[in-house]
Amino acid sequence: MTTSALEKRTGVPRTAIYFYIRRGLLPAPQKTATGRSLYGEAHVDLLRKIGELKRGGRSLVEIKRALEKDLARGRESELDLATLESARVRAAIIEVATEQFASKGYKGTHVLSIIQKLGINPHIFYRHFPSKLELLAECFKSSTPLPIVAADRQRLPSHDPGENVLRGLTNDYPWHRLSAVLSGAIRSEGLQDRPAQYRLAETWDAIIVNILEDFQSVRAAGSPAPPVSDELIAYSLIGAHRSASIRASWDDKFKGPDLLKAHLFVFFALLAAVSGEVDIYSRVARYEGLIEELTAGKPDLPPALEI
């Protein structure tokens, strides 16, 4: 934590903190590359003990002697406070930004307001997030209700894919809101920067990893490569839920349970198709010629969907 944060945390003014450091009652702070001082929990604990000993009438010499072991442990600490502070600031930025993106949308969220709310310098913000769009992408990724790394699937509450789908849809509002905000931001920004496009694609790809694993889990071992992309099917599933959610928001005709059952129906229908329980691939194959005919000489993507 910074000197200001240490002051707020302990109630000890910085003049006293600097004095204790000069007199050897506190370990010297770690320094960042820009020269900022960083303090750890050891400093908080030592300041608390110094206050207790002072109230007990001890002199500075007596206090220093009483804290010899604590001081030695504080000096020997190998914690990289700069790394910890950087991670803390990054997490704080994401937390505040997620709340603002979800409530105000992309255009209504301003980087300056995030910086002011956190009380950080602009260069610190931009060191973590070069642009507002990249910040939104990270907020979206961080707000996903299910683990986005395959190795983390053991953290899921159940091995039942249907239960996990339902819990994922009901336990995390920001993810649903931010997915729509992110889609709108991509359209409004009119991205031409290829690296930025790739980063956004990686963000979305990380979101669907659990759906892809569900597909793979029901496919027989040694099955040939599917003729239709699992990835695009997974994206279609997400898009279908978003469209259904939009329709449900228009009036009172549909309730939450209706929306969940519809999504679960589509999810299990896709699992049945992917597993081969229901033969859909052969039906799609019958239209290969027509697909080629209708797409010949036309752009790969509809203009409205280009990013």
- Summarised one tens digit per residue, pLDDT across range 211-261 is 888 898 898 888 888 889 999 999 899 889 888 988 998 999 999 999 999
* Whole-number pLDDT of residue 21: 92
Q: Put residue 107 in one of left, alpha, beta given phi > 0 → left and psi -120 to 50 → alpha.
A: alpha
Class of domain 1-129: mainly alpha
pLDDT tens-digit readout, 179-208:
778 777 776 665 566 666 676 777 777 778
Give the C-alpha distances (Å, rounded to integers) separating 74 from 26, 28, 87. 8, 9, 21
Q: Under DSSP, is residue 24 helix (H, G, I), strand (E, B) or coil?
A: coil
Q: How many of the other CB atoms lie within 10 Å of CB of 9?
A: 15
* Whole-number pLDDT of residue 59: 92
| d(C-alpha 181, C-alpha 102), whole Å | 8
Q: How many of the other CB atoms lie within 10 Å of CB of 135?
A: 22
Report residue 85 as tokens.
């502070």
Residue ranges for the chain with pLDDT beneath 70 = 33-34, 76-79, 144-158, 171-176, 187-197, 199, 300-307
Rounded to the nearest 5 degrees, what angle is found at the Cα of 125, between the Cα atoms of 121 and 127?
Answer: 115
| d(C-alpha 26, C-alpha 23), whole Å | 8
